[in-house]
A and B are shown apart, each in its own frame.
Chain A
Amino acid sequence: MNAGRGSGKRRFSLRNSLMTKYLLIVLSAMVLLPFALVLVSAATVFQTWTGHRETTEPYRSSSHLEEIWHREAAKLANASPGQIDAELRRLKDAYPKASLFWVDGSGTTRLQLPEGQDLPANWTASYTVQFMKNSSYSRIYTVVAFLGDKPGNDRGFMVFKVPREAFESTAAAIDARQGTIFVSGILLVLGLFLFVSLLFFYRIRRRLVQLQNAMTAPSETGIPAPVETARSDEIGRLEQSFNVMVRKLERSREREAEEEALRRDLIARLSHDLRTPLTAIRGHAYGLGEEAISDKGRESLRLIDRKIEFLGTLIDNLLSFTLLSSGKYPYHPRRIDIVRMARTQLAGWYPAFEQAGFEIDSDLPEEPVYWEADPQWLERVVDNYLQNVLRHAKAGRYVALKVSAENGGSIVIEDRGPGMTGESEEKGAGIGLSIASLMLKDMRLRSEVRTGPEGTTVVIRPA
């Protein structure tokens, strides 16, 4: 029993929550960001170690250069001066920013690359010391290596000088590239986060729009159809609640229809049950009239008969009104010729008016006039007005039924009675007029009534 109620106010559950989902996305972004940094750094380092080792980045680091220089020097332990020159030229090609020269065992400056490095022809001990001293603090990085890489063999030394900027710019370039990778890595993670968020909210939006469409989708009954609920998150529960509401609405609509049918049935039965004794009363009153009674008694019987007739009409009107106001009165509109309808109707009423001594006038055009209406309804409306004329306008002894084709057509009923405000017996036919106006309204027609002591004119025309 609690199951149904429980689903309505289920407690917040972490597992089936959109909030949890979104928190998970944010959280994974937060975890992913440092992880991505590590990954990017690793990638940079990896790239440094693998790719452009010597060819593109010769001035990578001073220690690296020093190592190379000493290795080259070691290789030249027993080389002839020509070989040493050739080697230096090769190295100059490899390190174009560097200045190279070598000094042989006797202290004579040999090949300078490039020329004119402002060096003495012969190296004295003191100059050598001065050179070493200067090079330590200079802006020019200097590597000195003994040929054969051993100080004792006295074969001389070779010097490699390169401006320190060469290293710095290289380091900056490397830094810049690493920075680019770093930034793009972060941007990538952020972009990914944004994309996933967007996707997340897009899907929420789509489901909400679907729900909204389901709510506003027109259906035959006016109640929206239930929606499919695939998930049990907040929106899923909203959809479930919506479905519960739809079912409730449907049930209440059914109940309403049942009650309506019950009421209709009741009134139909009541109208039947009232008519049966009324018929018997009428019969017996008639039977009484056949007996020998006084004139006064006969007058009373006539009154009884009239009242019974009137009561019958009232009961009929009550039933019709109930059916009409609940939209259950059968309505079948079609294209009808109102000229023909009016003529047929007047033909039906003619004897009754004739008997009551009325002058009957008609003005019906030769050409048909078409209206979109239910013929039964329109007949009933016109019957109602003609009945009123017969009942309340006897004094005028005149009735006219006219049809005009102008302005979409109109039906006119005229009498010369005392008018609707005038005194007449059997008042209270108001429900009949209510039925007439309800029917006219449903058929998009309207009636204009002009009444006065000289008579009444009713005009029925399209609204």
Chain B
Amino acid sequence: MAKRVLYVEDDRDIGRWVKEDLERRGYVVDWLISGDGAVERAREADLIVLDVMLPGLDGFTVGKRLKKEAPNAPILMLSARTSMDDKLQGLGFADDYLTKPFHPDELAARLEVLLRRHGMAADRQIECGHLLIRPELQTVTDSLTGEEIPLTAKQLQILMYFLRNRGLILTKEQIYEAVWGEPYLEGDKTVNVHIRYLRERIERDPGNPQIIETIRGIGYRVR
């Protein structure tokens, strides 16, 4: 099913081009010239792409309203403003921030990441190597044997965090703070230990892990 993108952009050149590009990539694009009426359309959208400098209401205000109205749709701010304050302000409510001039491939890649991160509940199942994960059922099965792999709550949380950030390298600090929800303490081996146990459960050869990749000295990655 095609994903619906609500796209608010006042520049017609860019608007037309992005609309065409995204449509070519299989999205249904609802393009508005201004923020007027965006709130009403936001409920039908799976994804919102918002320009910061809009005539009338500025993008930040519109974005905050949209987030309130449609909290499930991730928002990507598209802006020609690059100052750090703008970025921080944007990320106060938006899920991602992309500055102009952006490459169409980068926009598409970021939209995919956003959809994956937010749309997981909607996805019936995620494939990752030989694993088959059903987020709403909180189950992980081995697609080769068809057997369910029993995981502890923390192990499952770590795996889901990796899946939400597929392709990204996550440091032990990031993993700890995302999963445990507490500031990371220096020298804490908890993450390493949990990942070792997790690998013993999900990897076919824990000595040569294929799912969770170790990036020496930096962190881990699930592709």
**Residues in A lying within 8 Å of B, measured CB to CB:** 268, 271-273, 275-284, 286-287, 305, 308-309, 311-312, 315-316, 319-320, 323, 329-330, 337, 340, 343-344, 346-348, 350-351, 362-364, 366-368, 376
Residue in A309, A320, A350, A376 whose beta carbon sits within 8 Å of that of B101 in the complex? A309
* A283 touching B81 in the complex, CB below 8 Å, given contacts A343-B171, A343-B219, A347-B218: no
Nearest CB in chain A: distance from B192 CB, A: 12
Residue in A281, A343, A351 whose beta carbon sits within 8 Å of that of B173 in the complex? A343
Nearest CB in chain B: distance from A197 CB, A: 63
What is the CA–CA distance of A279 and B217 in the complex, to the nearest angstrom? 37
B167 touching A316 by the CB < 8 A rule?
Answer: no
A279 touching B169 by the CB < 8 A rule?
Answer: no
Nearest CB in chain B: distance from A159 CB, A: 123
Chain A contact surface mostly: helix
A344 touching B84 by the CB < 8 A rule?
Answer: no
What is the CA–CA distance of A280 and B51 in the complex, to the nearest angstrom? 14
* A312 touching B21 in the complex, CB below 8 Å, given contacts A279-B14, A329-B84, A330-B85: no
What is the CA–CA distance of A432 and B111 in the complex, to the nearest angstrom? 29
Most buried by B among A286, A309, A347, A367: A347
Is the C-beta of B186 less than 8 angstroms from some C-beta in chain A? yes
* A275 touching B99 in the complex, CB below 8 Å, given contacts A320-B83, A347-B215, A363-B217: yes
B103 touching A309 by the CB < 8 A rule?
Answer: yes
What is the CA–CA distance of A267 and B8 in the complex, to the nearest angstrom? 25
* A362 touching B217 in the complex, CB below 8 Å, given contacts A280-B13, A280-B17, A283-B18: yes
B102 touching A340 by the CB < 8 A rule?
Answer: no
11 A-B contacts (beta carbon < 8 Å): A275-B100, A283-B13, A286-B21, A287-B17, A309-B103, A329-B84, A340-B184, A343-B173, A344-B173, A348-B169, A351-B168
| Chain B residues, Cβ within 8 Å of A287 | 17, 20-21
What is the CA–CA distance of A1 and B167 in the complex, to the nearest angstrom? 73
Is the C-beta of B123 less than 8 angstroms from some C-beta in chain A? no
The 6 closest A-B pairs by CB, nearest first: A275-B80, A283-B17, A347-B169, A362-B217, A280-B13, A272-B80
Nearest CB in chain A: distance from B86 CB, A: 9
A367 touching B13 by the CB < 8 A rule?
Answer: no
* A283 touching B83 in the complex, CB below 8 Å, given contacts A343-B219, A362-B216, A364-B217: no
What is the CA–CA distance of A281 and B13 in the complex, to the nearest angstrom? 9
Besides A280-B14, A283-B14, 20 other A-B contacts (C-beta < 8 A): A268-B81, A271-B81, A276-B11, A279-B100, A282-B103, A283-B104, A284-B17, A312-B100, A320-B82, A330-B84, A340-B173, A343-B219, A344-B173, A347-B170, A347-B215, A347-B219, A351-B167, A362-B216, A362-B218, A368-B186
Most buried by B among A275, A277, A316: A275
Residue in A271, A320, A344 whose beta carbon sits within 8 Å of that of B80 in the complex? A271
What is the CA–CA distance of A276 and B102 in the complex, to the nearest angstrom? 10
Residue of A nearest to B170 (CB): A347
B101 touching A278 by the CB < 8 A rule?
Answer: yes
Is the C-beta of B53 less than 8 angstroms from some C-beta in chain A? yes
| Chain A residues, Cβ within 8 Å of B186 | 337, 367-368
Interface mask (B94-114 → A, CB under 8 Å = 1, otherwise 0):
000001111110000000000
What is the CA–CA distance of A376 and B103 in the complex, to the nearest angstrom? 24
What is the CA–CA distance of A252 and B62 in the complex, to the nearest angstrom? 38
What is the CA–CA distance of A272 and B11 in the complex, to the nearest angstrom? 12
What is the CA–CA distance of A278 and B17 in the complex, to the nearest angstrom? 13
What is the CA–CA distance of A315 and B104 in the complex, to the nearest angstrom? 20
Residue in A309, A319, A363 whose beta carbon sits within 8 Å of that of B83 in the complex? A319
Most buried by A among B11, B53, B100, B104: B100
Nearest CB in chain B: distance from A71 CB, A: 116
What is the CA–CA distance of A311 and B169 in the complex, to the nearest angstrom? 29
B84 touching A319 by the CB < 8 A rule?
Answer: no
| Chain B residues, Cβ within 8 Å of A281 | 101
Most buried by B among A308, A350, A376: A350
B83 touching A268 by the CB < 8 A rule?
Answer: yes
Residue of A nearest to B172 (CB): A343
| Chain B residues, Cβ within 8 Å of A311 | 101
A316 touching B169 by the CB < 8 A rule?
Answer: no
What is the CA–CA distance of A283 and B187 in the complex, to the nearest angstrom? 47
Residue in B14, B81, B217 whose beta carbon sits within 8 Å of that of A343 in the complex? B217
| Chain A residues, Cβ within 8 Å of B99 | 275, 312, 316
Most buried by A among B21, B85, B99, B104: B104
A276 touching B100 by the CB < 8 A rule?
Answer: yes
Residue in B81, B171, B217 whose beta carbon sits within 8 Å of that of A340 in the complex? B171
Is the C-beta of B174 less than 8 angstroms from some C-beta in chain A? yes
Most buried by B among A279, A281, A311, A316: A279
| Chain A residues, Cβ within 8 Å of B218 | 343, 346-347, 350, 362, 364
Residue of A nearest to B24 (CB): A290
What is the CA–CA distance of A245 and B170 in the complex, to the nearest angstrom? 59
Residue in A347, A364, A366 whose beta carbon sits within 8 Å of that of B187 in the complex? A366
Most buried by A among B80, B85, B184: B80
| Chain B residues, Cβ within 8 Å of A337 | 186
Nearest CB in chain A: distance from B5 CB, A: 16
B84 touching A279 by the CB < 8 A rule?
Answer: no
A275 touching B101 by the CB < 8 A rule?
Answer: yes
Nearest CB in chain B: distance from A333 CB, A: 14
